[in-house]
Every structure is written in structure tokens, then in C-alpha cells.
Amino acid sequence: MRCLTRLLWLLAALPLAALAQGWKPTKDVEFVIPFAVGGGADLMARVIHKIMVDEKLVPVPVALVNRPGGGGAAGIGYVAASRKGDPHTLILINGTTQITPIMNPNAKTLTEVKPVMNLMLDDFVFFVRADAPWKSLGDFIKDAKSKPAKSMAFSAGGTTDTMAVTVLSKATGVQYNIVSFNSGGEALTALLGGHVQASMGNPLEFMGQLQAGKVRALGVVRDSRFAALPDVPTFKEQGVAAPNFQMWRGVAIPKDAPDEAAAYWEGVMKKVAASPALANYFKENVAQAAPIPSKDFHAFLANQEKLYRELLGK
């Protein structure tokens, strides 16, 4: 009896956190995609969702909800208003959700969420329709320079795509007309429909059409060619000194959600990152695995914001 009393006293003296099993979801989870169906963010979220379901990583149902608009601001605004502090909420975040408030200080995006983990990085590729007259980036730029400013139109699926076109504009001295859409899928549709002459996007958004021979890749913004796309030269190989930058893609929860929930979801995302299904998705879509846990993710985002501000300043 004396031993039992002592044990109970010791247990009572322990912090509650030490006794707890850790936070776990107890009701349905809403996975908010602040972009339209068919874009890179939507595709990535659906892959994450499928892995969570197929590998039974979460004990409750997870519903995908697209809330596009405003470069991610509409979807994250919905989270801030209707899912405030709710740990049963995931949000797909990416470079667009970071660039949007830089370009529009009134737009609230990353300030309303708690980043949990980054999963991948995407490079940018210059695409035209397969039947376009330009066979190289040099051909396109030469043609653009022979026409009045903004004669050549680019479709952009978000503010990160807009920045990619802006970087190209600064590097070539040509002003382009940027037509904005809610997702890379919509930007691709505009290109295929002949409504614009070109698009700057991530491989995962265009690979299906590239393999089907519907679009042609004229260049990639990186230091070396893709192993999977050996015939696509880099911008620098073609004399265009555009600085490198990439689209990051990760997951967050509402900013006021408890830290225990953030730790839980980080654990889930680490399992997603280690899944062979995700590795296969990256391989098929010429993407780079970049699992960055919460602590390092915050430092990464600070560096990315500095880079974005420098590029926009230029």
C-alpha cells in the first residue's frame, strides 16, 4: 500500500505532457488547397492525401477542399476565418503563398499558418505549344524583341510563375504580357488553347502534355539539364543569365493550433516523405525531394523570402 501511494504521488508530480500520449485527430480532417484543381499545388496535395489514406497514416477521414483565388489568399483567409486554431486542418503551402503578400501586403497567407514540413522543390521550365514556330529560347526572344513591348503573352498559374516570367524579362530586356490564372492547370489550358504564346511552369504540371507531344520545352532555369529531359538546355546554355529559383511545396496547420498537433502532423509528413509512392511521383514528374522538418523549414522560409524580395527588387 505504501508503494502504491508513493507511485501515485510521483505520477501526480509529473507534468501533464509527460503523461499524455500526444495529440491525435479525433474527427474528420479538412485538407485545404488554396488553389484550383489541376495545378501543381492541387496535384501535390492529392498525392499526399492518397499516401495518407493508402498507408493508413491518419486514424480519421481526410477531405480535400479546393478554395482558389488571390494567389492563395482566399483559401488561407478561409482557414483564418472558419478553421481558426483547429488542429484538424491541413493547408498546402508553396512559394506562391509566400510571394503573394510580398507583392500585395494586404494579402494574408503565411502569417496565418504554422508551417509543419516542406516536401519538395520544383524547377521552372519554359514551355510553348508543340506547333509553335520557335525551336529554341533564342528564337523566341529574338521574335519578342522584334515586336512592340508586351506583344508576347505568358500564362501564369500564380505569383511564383509571374516571378519566373519577370526574371526572364529582366534577363532578356523584353517586357512580356503576363496573364494570371488560379492554377498551373488553368495556365496550361490557356497555352494549349492558343490564348498565350508561352508559359513558365513546373514540370509536374506539364509532363503529361509534354509526353503527349502537345507542348515543347525550350529551356530550364537551373544550372544543369534534367537527367529525365536531356534534350532541354538550360537558360544559361542559351545565353540567358537568369538567376535560379525554385517552387517549394509543403504543409501547414492553422497558426493558433497547439504545438502538440504540429508535432503530430510533422510525424505524419515524415512518413509521407519516406513513402516509395512519393519517390515514384517525384521521379515521374521531374521533381526534387526536399523533406525539411518544422525547425529547419522556418529558417528555409526566411531565406526564401530574402531571395524573393531581392529578385522582385531587381
Q: pLDDT of the chain along its 314 residues, tens only?
A: 444 344 334 444 444 333 335 899 999 999 999 999 988 899 999 999 999 999 999 999 999 999 999 889 999 999 999 999 999 999 999 999 999 998 888 888 899 999 999 999 999 999 999 999 999 999 999 999 999 999 999 999 888 899 899 989 999 999 999 999 888 889 999 999 999 999 999 998 899 999 999 999 999 999 999 999 999 999 999 999 988 888 999 999 999 999 999 999 999 999 999 999 999 999 999 999 999 999 999 999 999 999 888 877 75
Angle between helices 259-273 and 40-54 (to 10 degrees): 90
Residue 32 CA to residue 309 CA, distance in Å, equals 27
Unique residue bearing C-alpha cell 493508402: 54
Answer yes or no: are the C-beta atoms of 278 and 196 closer than 8 Å: no
Q: Looking at the structure, give the CATH architecture of the domain made up of residues 27-121+247-313.
A: 3-Layer(aba) Sandwich (3.40)
Residue ranges, comma separated, of all CATH 3.40.190.150 domains in the chain are 27-121+247-313
Give CATH 3.40.190.10 domain extents, the chain: 125-238
Cell (9 digits) for 134: 520557335
Pick the CATH number of 125-238 from 3.40.50.150, 1.10.10.10, 3.40.190.10, 3.30.70.380: 3.40.190.10
Contact 156, 40 (CB under 8 A): no
Q: What pTM did the predictor assign?
A: 0.83
Contact 162, 179 (CB under 8 A): no
